[in-house]
A and B are shown apart, each in its own frame.
Chain A
Amino acid sequence: MSDKSSKIKALQATGLMRELMGGHFRELDEAARTRDRKIAWCTSVGPAELLRSFGFLVYFPENHGAVLGSSRAAADLIPLANARGYSPDICSYLTSDIGSYLAGRTPLQKAFGMAGVPRPDILVYNTNQCRDVQDWFAFYQREWSVPMVGIDTQRSLGDLTADHMDGLVAQHRALIPVLEQVSGRKFDLDRLKEVVASSYRCTQLWKRVLQLAAHRPSPLTFFDATIQMGPAVVLRGTPEAEQYYPVLIAELEARIAAGEAAVGGEKHRFYWEGMPVWGKLRDHAEHFASLGVCVVASTYCNSWIFEPLGEADPFEGMARSYTELFIVRSEAYKEAYLKRMIDLYAIDGVIYHDAKTCPNNSNCRYGLPKRLSDSTGVPYVTINGDLNDLRLYSEEQTRTQFEALVEQLPGRR
């Protein structure tokens, strides 16, 4: 039932993105060698804006985790961390990354000529996603004797109350003395406002990119977006992120104007819920395209839209942005959110990825898929897999599930 010829259209803007991302990594590598600029490691939805306001270059280990997954380097690296007592059942970004450190090798060396991952002056986490990020950074804290600070965020939140916000804002402010000491700079509120404003503009651009996928046929797939989100993750708050997305948007709008689809002959529109299977991104993209399916949207890529950064107070903006995320929220919130996405993107089917080592971002474990399917009539499948550990992924079962979902859609034979 599948058409084996590739129907995926490459995005031209990607060349510019690679240049900008390369610049970011080379800058980090230079700073790691010369120590002329301070480096902060930050969790991907952590207080990057605050760090940038102190002049830190910001490095995101989760981005490195995704690189290790998509390059399939993770397979050889995870066991090294397992052997050090890090369980195969915990975050495979963590185990891939620590394995990479233990092995002394990273795809960043070949891709950007880096000596290795840039050694930090400080580690800054936010437990909004999971506790694993804190334990991950704690490894490096012990290894390198560098300070570690962070934000401890409550999880499974319904509405954010004033009490939540007060606590979170206070935690953000409490980071300032440590950051002043490590950076050697005084806190500058005006500079923070500038960085937050830049991040907000990036957010608006990224949101525009993703929402263009609501067009039928979509000019963008989820698989494209997992790559295109790079600047929104690692460069937000910098001019480079703001430089990139208008170029991408122009290309996507041109596709729409020309009636060009990301997946030629788009017949069905799917939503991806949960983590990508990084080592199978290309395979999944090709497989869905061969079935005439465009996976148009995902919670994962939406998670770097930070609307509250537009608020007047930058601390309130950061605290709210990094706590109002899907992953931090209650089951009821998640169900309502997914229903909105199904409507917004005219979704025909939903793929839930139950990622073995990422329980916090596997949103299919408490009956949500069935409830949502019953209320919307939109069918779904749940695949068992993992973000990085392909030992936990079954190729044949996954392919069968994808194809069976397509067969089940109305109008199919």
Chain B
Amino acid sequence: MGAVYCGVDIGASSTKLVLVGDDGRVMARAMELSGVDYAATARRCLETARAIAGGAAEPTATIATGYGRDNVDFAQETRTEIHCHGLGCWHGLNKAMSIVDIGGQDNKVIHLDENGRRREFRMNRKCAAGTGAFLEEIALRLALPVGDLNALATMATESVSLGSFCTVFAKTEILAHLRRGAPVQGIVRGAFESVVARIIEMDPLEGTVVATGGVVAHNPMIVEILAAKLGRPVLIPTAPQFTGALGAALTAAGLHEQTRPEPA
């Protein structure tokens, strides 16, 4: 059996792990809620992924990323999520792009040039408005499982606009909308549009746009709204929640296309 390379992305909500071979081919993916013991969660994800890969060997090299990147005891090095999402997207597309990553706790916009080199990146301000945490709060206010949001937004016949930047203020706005009898589907759709509005105000999003992250994986309607706002399609990589972990695994494998040297 050939060498195995591992990337693990410990995010605010979930831990994602990807194993790749020498050629960058994905061998297995595993995911768990991050919980409170990041090291243990990462280790369990590794064991799960090794089993999925048919009893793969211990990884030759592991790179950790995400907020818990310093807590993975079997990782040799760390990289930021910005690096890893960039590489994870570049690996499949090999073209200049703007990456929108909507995570549980923060949003990122990453620009890669035609060589995969990062030109610029932005992160949301400290406020969690527009992130997965915002949607979790909205689901709580509406007494809904967060997993139901996408289906409800899809059913909406109207959108209830949420004007506030602030998650807490948005929840207060929702109370007012509920009092006047606004449909829940429309409120959820409004929350999705609010997420997209926060993204669009971060960056002009020129060129090819790719969306990644857990919020994108679970709520494809958000990507549809983003595409409608931009007036062009938005690409979604395979397994968008695992893009960061894939970038980390590719880095571990030495497949650093994202920042490869300029051709001589």
Q: Is A1 an interface residue (CB 8 A)?
A: yes
- B80, B82, B256, B259 interface centre (most CB from chain A within 10 Å): B80
* Cα distance A408–B80 in the bound complex, in angstroms: 11
Q: Is A302 an interface residue (CB 8 A)?
A: no
Are B82 and A404 in contact (CB-based, < 8 A)? yes
Contact of A400 among B81, B251, B256, B259 (CB under 8 A): B81
Are B126 and A400 in contact (CB-based, < 8 A)? no
Q: Is A403 an interface residue (CB 8 A)?
A: yes
Known: A1-B78, A384-B125. A404 touches B120 (CB 8 A): no
Are A413 and B125 in contact (CB-based, < 8 A)? no
CB-defined contacts of B81 to chain A, threshold 8 Å: 400
Q: Is B189 an interface residue (CB 8 A)?
A: no
Tell me the minimal C-beta distance from A5 to chain B in angstroms. 15
- A384, A400, A403 interface centre (most CB from chain B within 10 Å): A400
Stretch at the interface among A26-34, A214-222, A267-275, A391-399: A391-399
Q: Is A401 an interface residue (CB 8 A)?
A: yes
Contact of B83 among A373, A392, A404 (CB under 8 A): A404
Tell me the minimal C-beta distance from B129 to chain A in angstroms. 13
Residue interface bits A5-22, CB-to-B below 8 A is 1, else 0: 000000000000000000
Are B121 and A404 in contact (CB-based, < 8 A)? yes
* Cα distance A413–B67 in the bound complex, in angstroms: 20
CB-defined contacts of B80 to chain A, threshold 8 Å: 400, 403-404, 407
* Cα distance A369–B63 in the bound complex, in angstroms: 31
Known: A1-B79, A397-B106, A413-B259. A408 touches B126 (CB 8 A): no
Residue interface bits A371-413, CB-to-B below 8 A is 1, else 0: 0010000010100100000001110110011011001100011
Are B123 and A401 in contact (CB-based, < 8 A)? yes
Tell me the minimal C-beta distance from A409 to chain B in angstroms. 9
A: contact size bracket? 10 to 19
CB-defined contacts of A373 to chain B, threshold 8 Å: 120
Task: Classify the interface of chain B: helix, strand, loop or mixed.
Answer: mixed
Smallest Cβ-Cβ distance to A413: which chain B residue: B256
Q: Is B173 an interface residue (CB 8 A)?
A: no
Known: A379-B120, A396-B67, A413-B256. A407 touches B79 (CB 8 A): yes
Q: Is B137 an interface residue (CB 8 A)?
A: no
Residue interface bits B118-137, CB-to-A below 8 A is 1, else 0: 10110101100000000000
CB-defined contacts of B83 to chain A, threshold 8 Å: 404, 407
* Cα distance A393–B125 in the bound complex, in angstroms: 10
Are A397 and B123 in contact (CB-based, < 8 A)? yes
- 224-266 of chain A: CB within 8 A of chain B: none
* Cα distance A412–B259 in the bound complex, in angstroms: 8
Are B123 and A1 in contact (CB-based, < 8 A)? no
CB-defined contacts of A396 to chain B, threshold 8 Å: 67
Are B118 and A408 in contact (CB-based, < 8 A)? yes
Residue interface bits A342-384, CB-to-B below 8 A is 1, else 0: 0000000000000000000000000000000100000101001
Tell me the minimal C-beta distance from B264 to chain A in angstroms. 15
Tell me the minimal C-beta distance from B8 to chain A in angstroms. 15
* Cα distance A393–B78 in the bound complex, in angstroms: 23
Are B126 and A394 in contact (CB-based, < 8 A)? yes
* Cα distance A408–B121 in the bound complex, in angstroms: 9
CB-defined contacts of B79 to chain A, threshold 8 Å: 1, 407
CB-defined contacts of A403 to chain B, threshold 8 Å: 78, 80
Cβ-closest 4 pairs across A and B: A404-B82, A404-B80, A394-B126, A407-B83
Pairs A–B under 8 Å by Cβ, sample size 23: A1-B77, A1-B78, A1-B79, A379-B120, A384-B125, A392-B126, A393-B126, A394-B126, A396-B67, A397-B123, A397-B126, A400-B67, A400-B80, A400-B81, A400-B123, A403-B78, A404-B80, A404-B82, A404-B121, A407-B259, A408-B118, A412-B259, A413-B251
Given A1-B78, A397-B106, 15 other A-B residues pairs in contact with their CB atoms under 8 A: A2-B78, A373-B120, A384-B125, A392-B126, A394-B126, A397-B123, A400-B67, A400-B80, A403-B78, A407-B79, A407-B80, A407-B83, A407-B259, A413-B251, A413-B259
